[in-house]
Structure 1
């Protein structure tokens, strides 16, 4: 499936393949549908209404990434590390491990960074290398629970579409992957879902050692993304005992994290409000009004998402889909009460809701509370 320009549809991309990742990285910014009033929507023909609703369905399903403080902090750290990794090929480059709980926007934030990095490298160095090869600044690989050294090498070759990806020894596949990265001048290798590995089994230790080999031999910055990587032994090279401080991986790897939104301090509450205001601006509903999210639903949305941006975006997306479908064209507590969210948020919401409803907690900054009073 392709769009009118002959490019792959954004909804039909596999980012573990170079053509699709390049299409994602170089895609133009999505255009927000026009904001129509209820009267204007009522005046549309059936065909025009169907087209308008389709545009809004796609828009609301792709509201992010949001430039949150968490995303900005992560990107600043990543730029520091990547830009400092301009050592010559005889020197090992520092690696990065993004280790954080689910639902905090790790993959979304990293993909936004990879997109920016790809665009910067192409703008500065051109589409082709000096040898005439296609320049691919980023190689992104997703891992599975049974990944071993050979599988990892094969996955890297799969990204490049190498014809020899399905045959050869582990060492041969690794050398082919190295050749691809050298030819395409890859500068950033992102390994997503690293927590799927069985770190306490033999293949986990082998992969940990294999990651050291990649960091030593490949002229790339290795970016690893996962959940509980420290607990799984990444920094102690797969071992639960011993002198982890002496582990080479731990010495060469910078561990980064992402924090959820909280409402414990005034600054935290201001961050939450700014997030809701920015999200409110992106929503395309005829009945939208200023403060629909940031004033009317602030406490409710915090309780439903527990401060996890992934859960918040899911709830807003599904709420907007329902509001368009049933003609309500706005978000309210009554509407959102009928919208299901992820299980982790649903399990945690009751205690938060009770505290917010009894005013033991509030998500609203002091200034907005005074205005409301």
Structure 2
């Protein structure tokens, strides 16, 4: 761990955007992170002040980037998407069925879809090679994220921007440019995040369906949408009126997938929750961490504080680890975690859950022991 004082230290932060080809390639093929060693208090005391700051800086970045953890929810969505994409071998004159991952915020939708895209990209490169027959880079999957009030031109510009193409011109010009890139680079899957932004406060589901229908008609790819409350906006609604006909058509061409929060209503759910905590435990780099720190001693607390939402749980643990390091506490316990703030939605829901857990009305602990995972997920 000892480093020369004058050594340049840039830290382990990785700044990139997955909505650009360079950033997406970093996700697909970038080096995995190296877990910092767990130093004892005596070993940390032997470090110089600068060495200790650098070690703590490495731990902060590590704890902020734990994962992706292959939860049952993530694995299920990846399997479903793979089945849809692998079956979409229709010729270019036929529309390919799409997929929609629609669920509440904080459940890991985007993480799951990006993990699917990463693995599919790697599999295609292994199967077909890094370059196309014409000598172009093969880009099997692209990832874009929409912003508020996106229109057709904005959709096409996002696709061009991912490939590093010019974004000047009208919607048709951009579409032609993007289609040329799709065909040349052999792209077969579009991952489109935050599609709920297509429906602005002044828009409606029909306009939204029109824009997504445009994508399916123009681009010979499988479209994988990710959004929040898309069904509630009426996009998948069946109907017989002229206004509803387009929605019905979109619903027939789109397979809806979802993700659920972790729950503790039954033994299977409690075992799943404990397995998750045991897996995360293996990733934590604190001097006084111990087996069962999360899964035994903080199980109820973490469930109440996160309400079973994966993003809320990881934010809570990340901030707890940062506080444990900065205060020299070097472990996570109830006293420390009570001082850590979490997202507003989780904080609002915690009181009722905490009361029920403390009263023994519910529990997050399974009655049958769960084996510790064999290694990091």
Q: TM-score, normalised by structure 1?
A: 0.91
Q: Does the 8 Å CA contact 2:151/2:211 hold for their aligned counterparts?
A: no
5+ long unaligned stretches in structure 2? 1-11, 371-377
Moved more, 54-63 or 233-242: 233-242
Match of 1:144 among 143, 147, 158: 147
Match of 2:72 among 62, 69, 72: 69
Relative to 1, partners in 2 of residues 1:203 and 1:178: Cα closer, same or farther, differing over 3 Å? farther
1:265 aligned partner: 266
Cα deviation per residue 1:299-341 (whole Å; 9 max; x = unaligned)? 0100000000000000000000111111111001111111110
In the TM superposition, what are the counterparts of 1:161-310 in structure 2 within 5 Å? Answer: 161-163=164-166, 165-167=167-169, 169-198=170-199, 201-202=202-203, 205-236=206-237, 247-310=248-311
Deviation, 1:10, is 5.8
Query: Is structure 2 residue 339 aligned with structure 1 residue 338?
Result: yes
Quote the Cα distance in structure 2 between the aligned partners of 1:76 and 1:244. Answer: 31
Match of 1:111 among 114, 121, 133: 114
5+ long unaligned stretches in structure 1? 1-8
Q: Does the 8 Å CA contact 2:205/2:235 hold for their aligned counterparts?
A: no
Relative to 1, partners in 2 of residues 1:267 and 1:337: Cα closer, same or farther, differing over 3 Å? same
Cα deviation per residue 1:155-185 (whole Å; 9 max; x = unaligned)? 111111112x122x22221121111111111
Quote the Cα distance in structure 2 between the aligned partners of 1:176 and 1:72. Answer: 35
Quote the Cα distance in structure 2 between the aligned partners of 1:59 and 1:265. Answer: 33
2:375 aligned partner: none
Query: Is structure 2 residue 23 aligned with structure 1 residue 20?
Result: yes
Quote the Cα distance in structure 2 between the aligned partners of 1:212 and 1:255. Answer: 16
1:321 aligned partner: 322
Quote the Cα distance in structure 2 between the aligned partners of 1:236 and 1:244. Answer: 9
Q: Does the 8 Å CA contact 2:205/2:233 hold for their aligned counterparts?
A: no
Moved more, 229-238 or 137-146: 229-238
Give the count of matched residue pairs. 359
Query: Is structure 2 residue 52 aligned with structure 1 residue 46?
Result: no
1:357 aligned partner: 358
Moved more, 227-236 or 319-328: 227-236
Moved more, 115-124 or 308-317: 115-124
* SS of structure 1 residue aligned to 2:233: coil
Quote the Cα distance in structure 2 between the aligned partners of 1:238 and 1:18. Answer: 39
Cα deviation per residue 1:259-297 (whole Å; 9 max; x = unaligned)? 000000000000000000000011111100110000000
Relative to 1, partners in 2 of residues 1:244 and 1:255: Cα closer, same or farther, differing over 3 Å? farther
1:125 aligned partner: 128
Q: TM-score, normalised by structure 2?
A: 0.90
* TM-align CA RMSD: 2.2
Quote the Cα distance in structure 1 between the aligned partners of 2:112 and 2:126. Answer: 21
